[in-house]
Amino acid sequence: MTEVFKGSFTQQEPIPEEGIEAALAVMRSGRLHRYNTAGDEVSEVALLEQEFAARMGVPYALAVASGGYAMATALRAVGVKPGDKVLSNAFTLAPVPGAIASLGAVPVHVEVTEALTLDLDDLAAKADQARVLLLSHMRGHICDMDRLMEICEGAGVTVVEDCAHTMGAKWRGQWSGTHGHVGCFSTQTYKHMNSGEGGFLITRDAEAMARAVVLSGSYMLYERHLAAPGPEVFERVKYDTPNISGRMDNLRAAILRPQLARLEAQCAAWTARYAVVEEGLRGTPGLQVIERPPQESHVGSSIQFLAPDWPAARIEALVARCAARGVELKWFGAPEPVGFTSRYDSWRYAPVAPLPRTDRVLAGLLDMRLPLTFSLDDCATLARIIRAEAGALFQARE
């Protein structure tokens, strides 16, 4: 009998009961705006920022409306201006080059490797073209951060990390998002904490954080932040930093605080599911799993694998055959964007230079979400279905 998977790839876990109760309290108060507090009350957003900064081991954190807003704000805070070039991964999702373009800046794409990380040789060759790198840890894959920081520091390149897929991940025991000058995170529904939309910036740079707070729409209420620099820093930046409002509200912060408290357990649960699928796919004829380096502690909320040198028609057949059995795969080599999936040459607002190594990787790259609503047995089923369909297609190849 042919197995068919019945689970939903977009169904998330429910919000923890503590978050629901806290959200109800916020709604009953009517004080959803982060600065709308009564008496000596501290807002949910300010408490969340304080807790997130403490978790990440940095002095400053800012909660904002989305991960994309976090990236654009970080770029502005480190001085990116219209017309500036910004280095970034050729393999990422559209909000990353979109954050660059939103400032009138110009993305400069850097090749990626078969490990799905930034090609550090190509970065070294292009480091003199820009003074900022927006580094995307795409789909949770972390490059050699020691070498990356050595290249960037040597070339005078400021690093802004996009950690939308690496909240809770580490490189050599150090939190993702704390290697570069600013770390940016997302709490969109499909990320590691779920507030529908939302995000964070973290940094150790007092002036960059002061600018980010003013940019986010603090007006002159910055003293209500618990994870921000002192008023003397704001005095230096408040008159020449525009308000581009993108604050997080108390309702979302209330939902997130209990999720932050259980983040490590959630990350471990994702990685356990990833391990089951990875082991089930390993050795599948024609497919190649992405080997993770020992220095990386990853969070397996999605899994990627390669079908190297498969013709497009065979990959399309694999996606269709798996879909017929309830397994949703995304193909990053498709010529047209599908849903959230697109490739660097789809972003026609950015210059496109030849990227042959990236093209070869994307041509065979397949991706699958692993929501925590899937059990370990579910994950084993997913791997069996993919393995069976891939094996049949590979065996039948001409």
Instruction: Kindly list the catalytic residues.
Output: 191
b/e per residue 60-84 (b: at least 16 CB within 10 A):
bbbbbbbbbbbbbbbbbbbebeeeb
Please tell me whether residue 231 adopts helix, strand or coil conformation. Answer: helix
Residues 6+ apart with CB under 8 A from 25: 254
Beta bridge mates, 63: 200
Beta bridge mates, 201: 62, 184
Where helices occur in the chain by DSSP H, the ranges are: 17-29, 44-56, 67-77, 95-102, 120-126, 145-155, 206-216, 231-237, 250-261, 263-281, 312-324, 356-363, 376-395
Q: In sequence order, what DSSP letters do the residues of 342-360 get, joined into one string?
A: --GGG-TTS-----HHHHH
Beta strands 106-110 and 85-89 are parallel
Q: What are phi and psi of 43, to 5 degrees?
A: -70, 155
Using CA atoms of 359, 117, 99, 129 in order, give the dihedral in degrees to the nearest 10: -80
